[in-house]
Structure formats: structure tokens, C-alpha cells
Structure 1
């Protein structure tokens, strides 16, 4: 996959976030070649993040978008018809984020793992992505992050701090599929954890100050 510079990532993020309609992530339409809409921007952004769409994000469902959708469908076991229907959207949302969701991920990273090594920051973002793909958790990035009790930074208000460039890069890497957590669904700091429940979870590995668990 193409390595993007942090500057390019932030420029793309800000540009696309202003162009997406507020509710597009909740009810994207079935998209076919020839479509022109904010949902196409979202589709192209997600495909570009995953490495399928190297072209300019323009909101036009042309042959490049059709080819990218078909490639994604083949890789994820879907009929490769190049049409972004319900199954394609559902799968795409499990394995990618849109521009606004990338910012949410970056906020989680910044508020939960500021002092951690870079690999630990990516691992925290990967936990969110892993929950999206696991039954029993909310099916959206927003729902997962704002699920009651999911992240301490929501309770203490640190989530609302402004993420730095490293947090965005870590969020980007996790959203593109890097999972240094080893498939973890939870993590905790053993020096501060007071919940007996979290200690009962099967432990996978320790990265920095966090233990990652199933």
C-alpha cells in the first residue's frame, strides 16, 4: 500500500470531512456507476484508505471507483459487481473508517495512549477496529467509542483534547489494517486498573504500559 506523508493525510482528512453530509455514515445509499453524491466521497475515502483507490477523491462514481469496489469485493468474499450495495457497505464499515471517524480514532489514541510507544498507540486504535468486527459490540466507530464504560477518557473528559499528528498517523495505520494488539478487544494499565473483571480476561501481550486482552 502506498505510504502517505502525514501532511497529505491531514490535508485529505480535512478536505473530505467538510464535503461529507452529516448523516452519510448512518444510511449510505446503494451506489452504482454514474452516481454523484456525498456518499461517493465517503466510499472513495474508505477505499483509498485501504489502498484500493489511488485516484483523486471527487465524488464521481466512474470506472476507477467501480474497479476499486470490485477489487475490494473480491478480496472480502463478495460478488465483484462493482456496485456498492448493502453487503459491500456493511463489510467496508467493518474494516475502514471515514474522515470523521478517523478523527474519533485519533482522539481515542491521544487521550488513552499519549505516553505510549507508537506501536502501543496503534494497538489502542486497533482495539476499536477489532470491536467493529466482533459480535456484541456496536457496529459503528462512534457507537463503539461512546459505548458507556468503553473508554476512561470519555468519563474524565480527556477524549475532547486535540489529537496530535502522531495520533492521526496511529489511527490511520490501525484503520488500514495494522493490529499490533494481536486481535485484542480490551486493554488496561496494570498499575491503575481496579476492576477484577478486566484482570480475568485472557491476556495477549503487553505493549508499553498497557496489557491487551481478549
Structure 2
């Protein structure tokens, strides 16, 4: 596709989005202000949480709408264009999804709908294959609550593959990740049950990743 056309289209979407935002009530604007500035449009919702995701409704134009459209299409609730425009087709897809989850079918992606969408995304997203061959117990970073990055994402992917973790593989080491690490640690008497991925836990994880029969 022509790069100039893409650039012009993005500028137009940004302008329309800004105009839509200006017309929203203060509560909706505050929700927008809390949205992460850098968002990957891929239909996976690990960048969002129900508490800070923006309220979406008819008239909104944004990359977040695109993410919702992609997910709804993947789930079979939407068959319209992936254009970031929250129009009648998107609202209809949201209403159908809301009814399937026994939510108020108002056609707006509010906090309750965000929660249901994120849960649906977590259940249907493929588990990333974690490459743990690049780590060694002696040099791998110590991971604990508050850690972020690719190493956390790799640990989450491994724990999800092994059935210890059901959350998003988002590279954010929160309480759910720590709890999953503790569950893994309890399976190995040589590892302290502290929820921290230190040298001994790295060794156990790398061993289990290389030996499918090590953890069942």
C-alpha cells in the first residue's frame, strides 16, 4: 500500500478521533487520558485492563476500536471492516457479544464489557512459545513483582504452557504471575517457594522447558 496514503489516512483518523473526543463528557475524556499512548493494533487485549481502558461507543475512531473489531471478528461476532470506526456494524457486534455474556446490551464497550472481552481474549489467544534456550541460571535476570520485559513474557508463556498460569502473556510481573511461579516452585523441593524467579528457579524452569516429562 502507498506510504503517503497510509500516512494521510492515519492523520485523518487522528483528526476525527480528536473531534469525537472533544464531544465526549468529562468522564469519557478521563478514560481516554488513562489509555496507554503506545498500543499495538493486533486484536490482542493484553495492553488493556477494565479499570483504565477507554469507553468506546458509536462515533469513536481509534486504534483501540480496531483491536476490539479484530477480536470480535476472531470470536465470530463481527464481520465488518477493520477500520477503527465505531459505527453501526461495530455496535451491533458488541451488542451480540454482550448478549452472549449476559451483559447489558447497550452497544458500548464499558468496563464490564472490557472485562468480558479481555477474558475471552485470554481464553482464545494462542499461547506464545517461549524460547528459554537463550537464558542461563547464572546470568538470567531476577524476576519479581514489578519486573517487566521479554524475560517476564517468556516465563509467563512457559507457565501458561505448563498449566500454572491463565493470565495474559504481557511481560508484566504482577500478582497472578507471582502466584503461578509459586505453584511451579511447589512442584520442586529444591526451589524456594517465594514467587521470585531467581537462580534456582531459573534452573528448574530451563530444565523443565528442555524436558517435557519434568513437569506434568
TM-score, normalized by the shorter chain, greater than 0.5: no
More strand by share: 1
Highest Rg: 1 or 2? 2
- With normalisation by structure 1, the TM-score equals 0.44
If asked which structure has higher relative contact order (CA below 8 Å, sep 6+), I would say 1
- With normalisation by structure 2, the TM-score equals 0.44
